[in-house]
A and B are shown apart, each in its own frame.
Chain A
Amino acid sequence: MVENRPLATVTTHVVLILGIVFLCFPVWVALVASTHPGEALARSPIPLWFGTQAVENYTQLLTAGVPAAGGVPLATMMFNSLIMALGITLGKIAISLLSAFAIVYFRFPLRMLFFWLIFITLMLPVEVRILPTYDVIASLGMLNSYFGLIIPLIASATATFLFRQFFLTIPDELVEAARMDRAGPIRFFWDILLPLSRTNIAALFIILFIYGWNQYLWPLLITTDQDLYTIVMGIQRMVNVGEGIPIWHYTMGTAILAMIPPVLVVLAMQRLFVKGLVESEK
């Protein structure tokens, strides 16, 4: 819509700017708070401009952690979160690609049954099956390990369904042309299906990485070893310090740090994502 009315332009801008301010203000407060000493945040008014403690606060957080909240360095927790999020993301993408490939391109007995079985698991998120899953992981000896963090979350009906729908839109002739070109199933998957799915993979990577990064309940349940704590658990433990001295500056710093990797992923992938969207005109 191309309209040239100054009042409309001003109004839209004002509305947009208000929206941005509304969304960004909490982040700003967190960022500012993480640069002040703890006492400054206990007084009113809360500071709205940077303090002087930024370097000290973040160094303390990353290298030594907060004693009152277990004293685990945030660097460790972020590393754990990263391993878990990447493991879940890559695992989910790999498994869903392969199962969608099997369901769409191979004719085998009970194919539709398997499809519906996968589909039904949509109704069973971790929270619902948490006790049996815990039992399975415990019996497999995977408590307190990266495997235990990743594997129960690695299957994804949503992603399988998404890839299935995408594969169904690929014209049959393309599959047939590949057969004429002597591409076996693996070649076809690798040379044709995978490159064509690039956009979908990028979109899923964003969604799944954030999903993995934000996991809270499951890591809380199966990790008792502090070295395997994830950053989201770290935030929670800091909020729960209780009657001790307020450590809001550290809590906010942790929140800011926890935000960085997902933001980076979105920024990095969004370019590919948008590029793919623009390019995929057929």
Chain B
Amino acid sequence: MADLKLNGVGKTYAGGVSAVADATFEIADAEFIVLVGPSGCGKSTILRMIAGLEEITEGDLQIGGRVVNAVEPGDRDIAMVFQNYALYPHMTVRGNMSYGLRNQGMPKAEIDTRIAEAARFLQLEPYLDRKPRALSGGQRQRVAMGRAIVREPSVFLFDEPLSNLDAKLRTQLRAELKDLHKRLGATFVYVTHDQIEAMSLADRIVIMSSGKIEQIGTPMDLYTNPASTFVAEFIGAPPMNVLQASGQAARELLSLAPDAPADLGFVGVRPEFLKVGDTGVKAHVTLVEPLGAETLVHLALGPDKMIMRGGQDHVFEAGSEITLTLAPSDLRFFDPSGRRISAA
């Protein structure tokens, strides 16, 4: 088992293009860390640098206290699960899982025990002698996980492992992954562009945008106290309403919050904190999306648009006008550059 330390890690390609700049954070032993961000933000690059598939051009990376910048991927005590599974098509499931172990020169009996164990754990026992093409997507993904598990590495790396699966299977495997983490007690580093996956899996989330780390924190921390408008708009579905402070909607909402800081750039409020009240701000309902337990209500305040999450206690109708109210403490304030202004 091992912890990871990234110290000013950066990646600049030969052409001078910088993919990741000055990534510094620590991952504790047995922690489940999720790197999340839009595509091209550098999250996969960080994962690939941890894996050793991408050369680190700046800073250093430690795994278990050892600087591994120049260590081959196979010798880093890590295992990786790829997005498209990357199973060897000509080998059986057993062959796929044992290949790495055979390359280490592990005795056959030991290999067999490990495979039997992993197969039982992943419910792959009936498929051990099949080739990958005879398996479904979910089974292939399990084999890819099995290939990682049998190596008993101290760090597991996952590169968007669920993106190729359908929604139902994704939810199921997500739960299995969390369970797997609990049972193995290993360090997990997981890359995804799906914020729901990030929220539901992570102990801590590292959220990135254009090569830089925006914020690191627990899922709830990121949700309630986003460090920037980027985080506020990335986390949550629907995301936080972020309004230009000079706009009509923001000005009206701010009238409900007397102690707002000066030099405001943006005001944010989560959809669930908007309530229907007797007094407050008037808004037009433009669109209603009933989802069962909740209803997403699209609102317009003059030119500004917002979304509120309504409960079952109120019936919303498109075209009607409602009165909004909120608790001042639920407002989040950002300066003109988008950084959070901590509550006064």
Asked if B337 CB lies within 8 Å of chain A CBs, one says: no
Give bound CA distance, A162 to B241, whole Å.
55
Tell me if B82 and A192 are in contact (CB < 8 A): no
We find that the number of chain B residues with CB closer than 8 angstroms to chain A is: 25
Residue among B51, B72, B99 facing the most chain A CB atoms (10 A cut-off): B99
For B48, give the chain A residue with the smallest CB separation: A176
Give bound CA distance, A10 to B100, whole Å.
58
Which of A75-83, A179-187, A223-231, A263-271 forms part of the interface with chain B? A179-187
Asked if B136 CB lies within 8 Å of chain A CBs, one says: no
Tell me if A181 and B99 are in contact (CB < 8 A): yes
Tell me if A182 and B84 are in contact (CB < 8 A): no
CB-CB under 8 A from A195, the residues of chain B are 90
Minimum CB–CB distance from B23 to chain A (whole Å) comes to 21
Given the known A-B contacts A181-B74, A183-B103, are A174 and B86 also in contact in the complex, defined by CB atoms under 8 Å?
Answer: yes
Tell me if B90 and A177 are in contact (CB < 8 A): no
Kindly identify which residue among A182, A279, A281 contacts B100, using a CB–CB cutoff of 8 Å. Answer: A182
How does the 8 Å CB contact mask read for B78-89 relative to A, with 1 for contact and 0 for none?
111011111111
CB-CB under 8 A from B73, the residues of chain A are 176, 179-180
Asked if A130 CB lies within 8 Å of chain B CBs, one says: no
Kindly identify which residue among B86, B104, B133 contacts A171, using a CB–CB cutoff of 8 Å. Answer: B86
For A196, give the chain B residue with the smallest CB separation: B90
Tell me if A196 and B89 are in contact (CB < 8 A): yes
CB-CB under 8 A from B86, the residues of chain A are 171, 173-174, 176-177
Give bound CA distance, A245 to B37, whole Å.
88
Asked if A129 CB lies within 8 Å of chain B CBs, one says: no
Give bound CA distance, A282 to B84, whole Å.
11
Minimum CB–CB distance from B325 to chain A (whole Å) comes to 52
Tell me if A174 and B133 are in contact (CB < 8 A): no
Kindly identify which residue among B52, B78, B82, B133 contacts A177, using a CB–CB cutoff of 8 Å. Answer: B82
Asked if B166 CB lies within 8 Å of chain A CBs, one says: no
Minimum CB–CB distance from A82 to chain B (whole Å) comes to 30
Asked if A56 CB lies within 8 Å of chain B CBs, one says: no
Tell me if B89 and A180 are in contact (CB < 8 A): no
For B101, give the chain A residue with the smallest CB separation: A181
Give bound CA distance, A182 to B76, whole Å.
10
For A179, give the chain B residue with the smallest CB separation: B73
Tell me if A191 and B99 are in contact (CB < 8 A): yes
CB-CB under 8 A from B53, the residues of chain A are 176, 179
CB-CB under 8 A from A183, the residues of chain B are 74, 99, 103
Give bound CA distance, A192 to B102, whole Å.
14
CB-CB under 8 A from B83, the residues of chain A are 173
Within A224-282, which residues are at the interface with B (CB < 8 Å)? 279, 281-282
Give bound CA distance, A192 to B80, whole Å.
18
Tell me if B103 and A177 are in contact (CB < 8 A): no
Minimum CB–CB distance from A16 to chain B (whole Å) comes to 34
Asked if B75 CB lies within 8 Å of chain A CBs, one says: yes
Given the known A-B contacts A171-B86, A176-B82, A180-B79, are A187 and B103 also in contact in the complex, defined by CB atoms under 8 Å?
Answer: yes
Kindly identify which residue among A178, A192, A282 contacts B133, using a CB–CB cutoff of 8 Å. Answer: A282
Minimum CB–CB distance from B158 to chain A (whole Å) comes to 13
Within B41-65, which residues are at the interface with A (CB < 8 Å)? 51-53
Minimum CB–CB distance from A93 to chain B (whole Å) comes to 18
Minimum CB–CB distance from B77 to chain A (whole Å) comes to 11
Q: List 26 A-B contacts (CB under 8 A).
A: A171-B86, A173-B83, A174-B86, A174-B88, A176-B51, A176-B82, A177-B86, A178-B88, A179-B52, A179-B72, A179-B73, A180-B51, A180-B73, A180-B80, A181-B74, A181-B103, A182-B72, A182-B74, A182-B104, A187-B103, A191-B99, A192-B90, A198-B90, A279-B133, A282-B89, A282-B133
**B residues neighboring A (CB under 8 Å):** 51-53, 72-75, 78-80, 82-90, 99-100, 103-104, 133, 147
Give 3 closest A-B pairs by Cβ, nearest first: A182-B74, A181-B100, A173-B86
**A residues neighboring B (CB under 8 Å):** 171, 173-174, 176-183, 187, 191-192, 195-196, 198, 279, 281-282
Apart from A173-B86, A176-B86, A191-B99, 16 more pairs, CB < 8 Å: A174-B88, A177-B80, A177-B86, A177-B88, A179-B52, A179-B53, A180-B51, A180-B74, A180-B78, A181-B99, A182-B104, A183-B74, A195-B90, A196-B89, A196-B90, A282-B133
